A and B are shown apart, each in its own frame.
Chain A
Amino acid sequence: MSTIATADVGHHGGTEPHGDHHHHELGFWQKYVFSTDHKVIGLQYGITGLSFLFFGFLLMLVMRWQLANPGAAVPVVGAFLRSVFGETVMTDAGALTAAGYNVFGAMHGTIMVFFGVVPVAVAGFGNYVVPLQIGAPDMAFPKLNMASFWCFFTSCVIMTGSFFVKGSAAKSGWTAYPPLAGIADLEGGSLWLNGQTIWLIAMVFNITGSLLGSINFITTIIQLRAPGLTWMRLPFFVWAQFVTAFLLVLAFPPLEAAGFMQLTDRVLGTSFFMPTGLMVGQTVAQTWSGGGSPILWQHLFWFLAHPEVYVLILPAIGIVSEIVANNTRKPLYGYKAMVYSVFTLGFLSFIVWAHHMYMTGMGAKVAAFFQVTTIMISVPSVILLTALLLSLWGGSIRFNTPMLFATAFLPMFGIGGLTGIPLAFNAVDLFLHDTYYVIAHFHYVVAPGTIFGLFAGVYFWYPKVTGRKMSEFLGKVHFWGSLVFINGLFFPMFLQGMAGVHRRWYDGGVTYEQLAGPVLHWNKVMTASAGLLALFQLVFIFNFFTSWRIGKKVGRNPWDATTLDWDTPTPPPHGNFEKPVEVFRGPYEYSVPGHPTDFHPQSQRD
C-alpha cells in the first residue's frame, strides 16, 4: 500500500489532484441538506425511497384489508385514515371506498416503482457505492447530482400533495391509460388541482431528476475509474448500474413526451390520446381533431415501462452478485458471460414493450414479433441467474444476513421470471391478462426479488455508511419472517389468477363468486400474510435506527471484501480516499491459491 501512496499515477493530468485535499468544514445545511457529496445524496435518495416503499406498502395493506373483508371498516386506524385522506377515499365508518381503492391502487404502483424502488436501487445504492467502487472522489457532476435529487424531491412533494386536493390523488392506475386518464377528475374539479393532472406534473419532475442522475452515472463510470480499473475489472454492481443508467437515459424521455401530451389533453383540450366520438356517460365527450389514439399512449408508456422493469431488477442483481461473491469466498462464476448478458438484456429490453399490449388487437404479425423478442430476453436473464446459482457451487458459504437475503433472491427472482414466460405468449396472455397471475408474476420479480436484493444491500453496506453492523439476530428474524410471509402474500395470487380473478375487483371477487368462489378464501391468507409481513418490517426499521448508535463497531473492511469501496475509511470522508488508488486485479479475487489471506483486494499491488 505504501508504494501506492507515493506513486505518481499521473492518470488524471497534473493540474487536477486526485481527491479533495483541502475541504473546509461545511455547515449543517450544506453538509446534510444541499450537499453535492455523492454519499449524502445517496443517503438522501435511499432514505426518501425507503420511506416511500413503506408508505406504498401501507397503502397496499389497506387495499388487502378491503379485499379480504369487503366493506368492513379498517381496524384501529380507520378513523385516522378518514381524517387524513378525506371522504373520497374513506367512508365515515372508516372503510375504503371504491374510488379510494382506485386511488390507493394507482398510487401504490406509482410510488413503489418511481418513488420507492428506483430511487433506492438506482439513485441510492448507485450514488453511494458506484464512485467508491471505481475509486472516484465523487460523481463526475456533483452539482447536477444535487439538482437530480431536488428534482426528485420536488416530485415527491407534489405527488404526496395530490392526496389532499379535491377528489384525491390519481385513480387511473400507475399506467395512466387514456381515455380514462384523459377525463378522470376533470368533471366538477379544478383544471390543474386534480389528482391526474398533478400526477403528470409530478412525473415530469421525477423523470427529469432521473435523467440528470443517469447521465451522471454513465459519465462517472466512463471518466472516473481509478488507474488500472479496466472494464473487465469492474465489480458487477457497477456494470449493472451502467446498463441501468442507459435504460433510463433512453427509455424515460418518450414517457416524458407522452406526459406532456396527456397534460395538454387535459388542460388545453387537445386529443392526442382521445378518440373521436368518445362517449362518456350518455354524451359524446370529444368531437375534435380527426381522432387521437389511446394506443399511442400505451406504446409510449410501455416503451419506458418495460425497460423500467429491468431498471428495477438490474441493480438488485448487481447487489446480489457482490454479496454472493463475498460470502461464497469465490470469484463469480462466468463474470464475463454475466457482463455480456447484462448488455444483451439492456438492448433487448427496448424491443419487447408491446407484449404488454396483446389485448389491444395490434395484429398477429406484430404480436409474433414481440413474442419472439420476449422469449429471447429470457436467455440473458437465465444466464445471469444461472451464473449466480453456479457461483454458490462448492463455496464455503457464510450465511450472514446479507447473504441470506441474497440467496433467497435467487429462487424468488427465478419464480418471478419463469412465471413470466407463459405471459410472453399471445394465446396464454389473452387468458391471463389483467388477472392476479400477472400481479403475482411481477411482484415475485420486484418484491421478494428486487426488494430482498435491496435489503441485502442495506445490511451489506450499512457498516460502510455508519461504521457499525446491524444486529445479526434481528436481521435473521427479519429475513425468515419476510421470506415466509411474502410467499404467503404472493403465491396464492397465482392460484387466484389462473382461476380468472381480475386484478381490479374492488371486493376481492365476491361479486363474481360463481367464478372466484373456489379461490376466495386465499384472500384471507394473503391479507393475514401482508399484516404479518408488515410486523417483520418493523423489526428491520428498529434494527436500522438502533444499530446506528449501538451496533457493533467495525473497521473499514468488515466482510473481508476485495472491491475498492472497502478501501476507504469508515465512514468515507468527503473525497472518499485518503490517497490515490490504483487497481491491480479483477474484482473478486477470493481464495486465490498461494495468497496468505482468502481475499486479495483490487488495490493491493501484491
Chain B
Amino acid sequence: MSNLITKYFPFFTDREVPHTVSARPDTGLYSAKLGIWLFLASEVMLFGGLFSAYIFLRIGSEPGYWPAGLLNVPVGTMNTAILIVSSITVVMAWAALKMRQLGKYRLYMLVTILCGLIFLTVKLSYEWPAKFNHFGVFIKKEAASKYEDFLGNKHLQEAGQNPRWEISGHLLDAPKGSHYAHQAEHNAEHFGHETGRHDAVTPAEDDYVIQLDAVNANPSDKDNDRPHFWPVPMSTKLAVISAADVESASVFAPRHSTYFATYFLITGLHGLHVLGGILVFLYLWLPFPGGTKLYKTNPEHLANRVEIAGLFWHFVDLVWIFVFPIFYLL
C-alpha cells in the first residue's frame, strides 16, 4: 500500500521538514500541534460567526417568532454525554500510545469512533427526521382571534409572555397543490391506524388539517407551556386552518424560521465536523501507512497524530457544549 502510494503519488511522501515529530526546543512544539491550534482558532471564528448570527437574529426577532422548547431535551442530553465520553476515551487512546500499549489504544479508539457514530446516527436518523415530519403554520395576525382556541394568546398575555402565532403538529391534510400533500397523506394514514378515526381529510381544498401538539390543543393550560424536559405527547385533537389565514406554513426545516435555519446550519456544520473526526480516527485506527502501521516505525509520530486529532475532537465537543444549551434549553 505504502509503496503504491509512493510510486504513483510521490507528492504524498513526506519531505524532510524539521519538527514534524520532535519539538522545536525554543517553542516546545512540533509543527502539527501549532498548526492544529491555529486551525482551531479559525474554527472558533467560523462557529463564532454563526453563533453571533444566532444572537443577532434572536435579539432582532419579532415577539412570538422565536420558538422555544421544540427539541427533544433527553435525547440531546444523551448525545451530549456521548460526546463527552468520547472526548475522554480519545485522551485514553493517546495516553495508551504514549505508554506504548497498542492494544489499549485500539480499544479506546474504537470506543471513540463508536461514540461519534452513535451521535451522528441519533442526529440523522432520529432528531432531524422527526423535525422534518413536524408541521407549523404561522397565523396572520389579523386572523389570530379566529384561532384563539389553539393559540391561547389571552392566557399568554395574562401571564406576561410573548404571543403565539404558530399552530404546530402533524399535517394530515394540505391545500391542493401543496408539496406537503404526500407527507399529509402518509400522516393521515398513520393517524387513522392509531386512533381509528378517518375524519382527518376534509373535502375543502384550501385547508390545512393538523393533528395538534399539546400546547395548541389546550393552550390555556399552563402545564402545556413550553419548554419541557420530557417531550409532551401529541394530542389527537385536530385543527382546520383556512389557507387564507396563513402567513407561512412549513415543516420544521431550515425555511421554517430563523430559529430552525440557525439550528440546522450549526448542527449540520457540527455534524460534518463529527464525520470528519470519525474519518480521521478510522484512518488512525486501521493499518494504513499513516495509521497503526506507523506504530512499528515511529510510535511517537502516531501518538502525535492522535493528539492533534484529539484536540480537534475536543473542539467539536466544545462546540456542542454551546449548541446544546442555546438550542435545546434556552
Which residue numbers of A lie inside 8 Å of B, CB to CB?
Answer: 11-13, 15-21, 24, 26-27, 30, 34-36, 136-144, 146, 211, 214-216, 218-219, 222-224, 249-258, 260-261, 264, 268-272, 276, 287-293, 296, 299-300, 303, 575
Residues of B close to A20: CB separation below 8 A: 15-16
* B22-A13 in contact (CB<8A): yes
Q: How many residues of B contact A (CB 8 A)?
A: 55
* A250-B45 in contact (CB<8A): yes
Q: How far is the CB of A241 from chain B (nearest CB, A)?
A: 14
Pick from A35, A224, A258: contact of B17, CB under 8 Å? A224
Residues of A close to B248: CB separation below 8 A: 287-289
* B258-A219 in contact (CB<8A): no
Interface centre among B27, B41, B254 (most CB of A within 10 A): B254
Q: How far is the CB of B138 from chain A (nearest CB, A)?
A: 8
* A291-B10 in contact (CB<8A): no
Q: How far is the CB of B34 from chain A (nearest CB, A)?
A: 5
* A250-B42 in contact (CB<8A): yes
Pick from A19, A146, A291, A575: contact of B60, CB under 8 Å? A291
Cβ contacts A to B, 8 pairs, < 8 Å: A141-B32, A223-B24, A255-B49, A257-B53, A269-B255, A270-B255, A272-B57, A287-B248
Pick from B29, B45, B257: contact of A223, CB under 8 Å? B29
Residues of A close to B50: CB separation below 8 A: 257, 260-261
Residues of A close to B21: CB separation below 8 A: 15-16
Select the stretch in B61-69, B126-134, B145-153, B315-323 that faces chain A: B61-69
Q: Contacts A143-B11, A222-B34 given: A249-B41 contact, CB under 8 Å?
A: yes
* A219-B12 in contact (CB<8A): no
Contacts of B44-99 to chain A: CB distance below 8 A = 45-50, 52-53, 56-57, 60-62, 64-66
Q: How far is the CA of A286 from the CA of B18 in the complex (A)?
A: 56
Interface centre among A257, A276, A303 (most CB of B within 10 A): A257
Please, what's the 1-or-0 string for B1-32, where 1 marks a CB less than 8 Å from any CB in chain A?
00000000111100111111110110101011
Q: How far is the CA of A249 from the CA of B37 in the complex (A)?
A: 11
Pick from A142, A219, A289, A291: contact of B35, CB under 8 Å? A219
Q: Contacts A254-B49, A261-B265 given: A12-B18 contact, CB under 8 Å?
A: yes
Q: Contacts A264-B254, A287-B248 given: A16-B22 contact, CB under 8 Å?
A: yes
* B41-A250 in contact (CB<8A): yes
8 A-B pairs closest in CB distance: A290-B65, A257-B49, A254-B49, A269-B255, A253-B46, A270-B261, A253-B45, A12-B18
Does B221 lie at the interface of the complex (its beta carbon under 8 Å from any beta carbon of A)? no
* A223-B25 in contact (CB<8A): no
Pick from A260, A271, A303: contact of B265, CB under 8 Å? A260
Q: How far is the CB of B307 from chain A (nearest CB, A)?
A: 16
Q: Which residue of A lies closest to B18 (CB)?
A: A12
Q: How far is the CA of A219 from the CA of B20 in the complex (A)?
A: 11
* B255-A288 in contact (CB<8A): yes
Pick from A15, A36, A143: contact of B22, CB under 8 Å? A15
Residues of A close to B41: CB separation below 8 A: 249-250
Q: Contacts A26-B10, A140-B35, A218-B38 given: A268-B254 contact, CB under 8 Å?
A: yes
Q: How far is the CA of A276 from the CA of B138 in the complex (A)?
A: 13
Pick from A16, A146, A261, A289: contact of B18, CB under 8 Å? A16
Contacts of B225-274 to chain A: CB distance below 8 A = 247-248, 250, 253-258, 261-262, 265, 269
Does B39 lie at the interface of the complex (its beta carbon under 8 Å from any beta carbon of A)? yes
Number of A-B pairs, beta carbon distance below 8 Å = 185
Q: Which residue of B lies closest to A265 (CB)?
A: B261
Q: Contacts A11-B25, A289-B261, A291-B60 given: A224-B255 contact, CB under 8 Å?
A: no
Residues of B close to A12: CB separation below 8 A: 18-19, 24
Residues of B close to A303: CB separation below 8 A: 49
* A223-B38 in contact (CB<8A): no
Residues of B close to A223: CB separation below 8 A: 18-19, 24, 27, 29, 31, 34
Does B189 lie at the interface of the complex (its beta carbon under 8 Å from any beta carbon of A)? no
Residues of B close to A36: CB separation below 8 A: 11, 15
Q: Which residue of A lies closest to B45 (CB)?
A: A253
Does B185 lie at the interface of the complex (its beta carbon under 8 Å from any beta carbon of A)? no
* B42-A249 in contact (CB<8A): yes
* B66-A222 in contact (CB<8A): no
Q: How far is the CB of A150 from chain B (nearest CB, A)?
A: 11
Residues of B close to A293: CB separation below 8 A: 56-57, 60
Q: How far is the CB of B207 from chain A (nearest CB, A)?
A: 19
Q: How far is the CA of A36 from the CA of B13 in the complex (A)?
A: 10
Residues of A close to B49: CB separation below 8 A: 253-258, 300, 303
Does B43 lie at the interface of the complex (its beta carbon under 8 Å from any beta carbon of A)? yes
Q: Which residue of A lies closest to B67 (CB)?
A: A290
Q: Which residue of A lies closest to B19 (CB)?
A: A223
* A17-B16 in contact (CB<8A): yes
Q: Which residue of B lies closest to A211 (CB)?
A: B42
* A296-B53 in contact (CB<8A): yes
* B15-A137 in contact (CB<8A): yes
Q: How far is the CB of B2 from chain A (nearest CB, A)?
A: 15
Residues of A close to B257: CB separation below 8 A: 288-290
* A137-B17 in contact (CB<8A): yes
Q: How far is the CA of A347 from the CA of B15 in the complex (A)?
A: 35
* B42-A261 in contact (CB<8A): no
Q: How far is the CB of B301 from chain A (nearest CB, A)?
A: 11
Pick from B11, B46, B62, B247: contact of A291, CB under 8 Å? B62
Q: Which residue of A lies closest to B39 (CB)?
A: A215
Q: Which residue of A lies closest to B47 (CB)?
A: A257
Q: How far is the CA of A271 from the CA of B35 in the complex (A)?
A: 35
Q: How far is the CB of B175 from chain A (nearest CB, A)?
A: 16
